[in-house]
Copies of this chain bind each other. A is one copy, B any other.
Amino acid sequence: MKLATYKDGSRDGQLVVVSRDLATAHYATGIATRLQQVLDDWSFLSSQLQDLYDELNAGRARHAFPFDPAQCMAPLPRAYQWADGSAYLNHVELVRKARNAEVPQSFYEDPLMYQGGSDDFIGPCDDVVVPSEDFGIDFEAEIAVVTGDIPMGCTPEQALEGIRLIMIANDVSLRNLIPAELAKGFGFFQSKPATAFGPVAVTLDELGDAWDHGRLNLVLQSTWNGRKVGMCDAGPEMTFHFGQLIAHIGKTRNIRAGSIVGSGTVSNKGVERDGRMEWPKGYSCIAEKRCIETIQDGAPKTGFMKYGDTIRIEMKNRAGQSIFGAIDQKIAPPGPPIATV
């Protein structure tokens, strides 16, 4: 089934069930008002939502209305955990190669992951508000899963059983803040502002056999200022699958319902043509394009995003239908300074 959260002025919004073709929606009011509530009590509530979803798809739901992604908050407008991996090692290899550094062997055995802020996600069509263009504004097109309760010490296989929903994400990154921040040793913080998620979170059965044991074998599209810059395969080159990412979290702690776990920037290896490397599938973040330029020509030439730039991120199934709806955002400056808290 497909679930979304409609804006209603409240912090958590209103849960809606969305039809498979994303054409219509129906409030889930009689079942649950918030998505976290469903994740807290999944086995009881999800079957009721599934019944409503079936009615909606059959055109029999009584109060269906046209679905509008612009009315959506993030499916979870705030969450108790947002742990983002960097599971496509090709991305790490390019970043390292651009600064003439090696990828440590341990990176192929032990996932990279950072803890992100989760108190204030933004909706799929909300502006990305950044205080300064000088921060090096970048998008990162990713896949993310939402988990149920998974106890400490889970294996990757057990972790896969705990996945409830899957989403797409724009893990906005402020590249020019990263070097100084990582040099301090405590990881990303100011360089990772509010993350955006696609309009709709879907259960794994919506993916059919494209969901392959923790990897999603479909193409994630990124369109920057109307130009398609990424058509990246999300599946085979994901070095660590979602079960492995979740088990990494679970090594020393329990993972509680509603935790969101991200893949990191989807990234594909280049191919050699006439003695020169090419990346025909493009890129899922500008930083990667700049690394490629640095490797090939000694310096980056693509700049980061400016106010007014747009980014659209979407994934279609093999029949060409949008699965999650599109993230479709504009970069914007903040409003006037605040007077009081």
Contact = CB atoms under 8 A, between A and B. Distances in A.
A199 interface: no
A89 to B, nearest CB: 13
A7 interface: no
A2 interface: no
Contacts of A107: 184
B253 A186 contact: no
A115 B187 contact: yes
A114 interface: yes
Contacts of A279: none
Contacts of A259: 119
Contact of A186 (B114, B194, B337): B114
B115 A115 contact: yes
Contacts of A130: 252
A114 B219 CA distance: 33
Interface in A128-162: 129-131, 135, 148-154, 158-159, 161-162
Contacts of A86: 186
Given A194-B253, A194-B254, A131 B153 contact: yes
| This chain's copy number in the assembly | 2
A187 B119 contact: no
B117 A186 contact: no
A11 interface: yes
Interface string A311-338: 0000000000000000000000010011
Interface string A156-170: 001101100000000
20 contacts: A11-B257, A79-B80, A81-B117, A81-B119, A83-B189, A86-B186, A104-B184, A107-B184, A112-B184, A119-B259, A149-B341, A158-B341, A161-B341, A162-B341, A182-B186, A189-B249, A190-B251, A190-B252, A193-B252, A194-B253
- 9 interchain residue pairs of minimum CB distance: A187-B187, A80-B119, A119-B256, A81-B119, A115-B115, A193-B252, A114-B186, A161-B341, A162-B341
Given A83-B117, A154-B341, 8 more contacts: A80-B120, A112-B185, A120-B253, A120-B254, A120-B255, A151-B341, A187-B188, A190-B249
Interface of A: 11, 40, 78-81, 83, 86, 104, 106-107, 110, 112-120, 129-131, 135, 148-154, 158-159, 161-162, 174, 177, 180, 182, 184-191, 193-194, 248-249, 251-259, 334, 337-338, 340-341
